[in-house]
């Protein structure tokens, strides 16, 4: 009989069952990883509600993770049982036009672990050995489970390529906080984070924002960003919310000649109103990024390892796998919670 493990299976929209399922069987090019922690991501909520990946269910979600190598496929090199690891979740065909261009994220057969195929809300997960990253001893399991979101923000920052001394406004105080930390690291000033929750705004400030705009108190954040940037608007504006309204604000608060960085994910049918006149006459530009991939992972590990980014203020709590569904709902209701980790080993929740 197959070896069994505990997993949170997203059966259909709004139904998660924590149950026994077979441990994944690995091929020669794969490794089996014993999962330690998985961070809950907004994407998990979208999968839970059926907004995303509904055609993939039933599926074990979970993609921001770390663990230890349990078993190695025959071809796996440079790894041993017990190594602390995470894995680049992005898989592609390897031979199409985009893969050959080094644009793996655009591959028509692009798949992400825990988003399109079984992921890490379980005791074990399998991954291709070539995508595995070893975790330096200095990183805690929590920091290691946070490498994926940091890699996404790094990918976006590389696409944006902000110049030293340039102003950056960030809409959103979830991963927006991390965008703020990275903008400061790149020598941008002032760094302005726009959010609606006092606790998150405080953390944004602690992690590098020069100014925070609390949208509960400031009715016109566009005017406020202009006020803080010599009346022009910011050199760079990062949209890290994922609503049409905030995307439209982004184009209004970027200065002429400036650049909007698209990061937040809206519904796939939503459209926004942007005046082409404004793009042409004011030479506004857009960069976009969909995930952290390849060397973004190595760079995320390096920046955390060397203390350039300290994500710990964003960590809220650890819950047992059995509480995943309730934690997903709590995250929607309580904006004081930022990153919640799920552990297959925990028996009770731990508030950090």
Binding site for Zn ion (CB under 5 A): 41, 64, 92-93, 96, 99, 107
Nearer to Zn ion, 99 or 290 (CB): 99
* Contact indicator for 330, 317 with CB cutoff of 8 Å: no
Nearest to Zn ion of 70, 88 (CB atom): 88
H helices of the chain, where?
A: 42-49, 97-100, 141-145, 147-160, 176-185, 198-206, 221-228, 244-253, 276-281, 295-305, 324-333
**Residue closer to Zn ion (CB basis): 110 or 251:** 110
Query: What does the chain come to in residues?
Result: 352
Smallest gap from residue 111 Cβ to Zn ion (A): 10
* Shortest CB 89 distance to Zn ion, Å: 8
CA distance 156 to 4: 39
Going by the DSSP 8-state scheme, the letter that residue 217 receives in this structure is T
- In the complex with Zn ion, the residue whose CB is nearer, 93 or 256, is 93
Report the C-alpha gap between 248 and 275 in whole angstroms: 10
Q: In the bound complex, what is the minimum distance in angstroms from residue 13's beta carbon to Zn ion? A: 19
Beta strand 90-91 with 111-112 is antiparallel
CA-based angle 299:300:301, to the nearest 5?
A: 90
Q: Rank residues 63 and 126 by Cβ distance to Zn ion and give the closer one.
A: 63
Q: How far is the CB of 150 from Zn ion (least distance, A)?
A: 11
| Contacts of 71 by beta carbon, 8 Å cutoff, 6+ apart | 26, 31, 32, 81
Smallest gap from residue 92 Cβ to Zn ion (A) = 4
């Amino acid at each position: 009989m197959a070896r069994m493990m505990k997993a949170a299976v997203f059966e259909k929209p709004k139904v998660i069952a924590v149950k026994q399922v077979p441990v994944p069987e690995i091929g020669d090019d794969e490794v089996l990883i014993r999962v330690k922690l998985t961070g809950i991501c907004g994407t998990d909520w979208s999968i839970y509600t059926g907004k995303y990946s509904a055609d993939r269910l039933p599926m074990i979600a979970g993609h921001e993770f770390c663990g230890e190598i349990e078993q190695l496929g025959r071809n796996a090199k440079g790894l041993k049982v017990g190594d602390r690891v995470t894995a680049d979740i992005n898989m592609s065909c390897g031979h199409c036009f985009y893969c050959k261009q080094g644009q793996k994220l655009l591959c028509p057969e692009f798949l992400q672990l825990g988003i399109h195929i079984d992921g890490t809300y379980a005791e074990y997960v399998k991954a291709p050995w070539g995508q595995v990253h070893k975790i330096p001893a200095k990183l805690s399991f929590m920091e290691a489970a946070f490498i994926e979101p940091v890699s996404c923000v790094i990918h976006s920052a590389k696409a944006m390529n902000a110049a030293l001394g340039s102003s950056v406004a960030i809409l959103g105080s979830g991963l927006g906080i991390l965008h703020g930390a990275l903008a400061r690291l790149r020598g941008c000033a002032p760094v302005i984070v726009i959010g609606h929750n006092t606790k998150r705004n405080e953390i944004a400030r602690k992690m590098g924002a020069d100014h925070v705009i609390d949208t509960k108190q400031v009715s016109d954040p566009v005017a406020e960003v202009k006020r803080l940037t010599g009346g022009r608007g910011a050199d760079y504006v990062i949209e890290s919310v994922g609503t049409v309204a905030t995307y439209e604000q982004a184009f209004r608060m970027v200065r002429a000649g400036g650049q909007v960085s698209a990061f937040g994910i809206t519904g796939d049918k939503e459209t926004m109103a942007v005046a082409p006149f404004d793009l042409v006459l004011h030479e506004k530009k857009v960069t976009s990024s969909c995930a952290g991939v390849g060397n973004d992972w190595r760079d995320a590990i390096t920046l955390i390892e060397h203390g350039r980014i300290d994500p710990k203020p964003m960590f809220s709590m650890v819950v047992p796998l059995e509480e995943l569904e309730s934690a997903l709902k709590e995250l929607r209701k309580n904006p004081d919670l930022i990153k919640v980790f799920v552990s297959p080993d925990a028996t009770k929740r731990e508030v950090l």
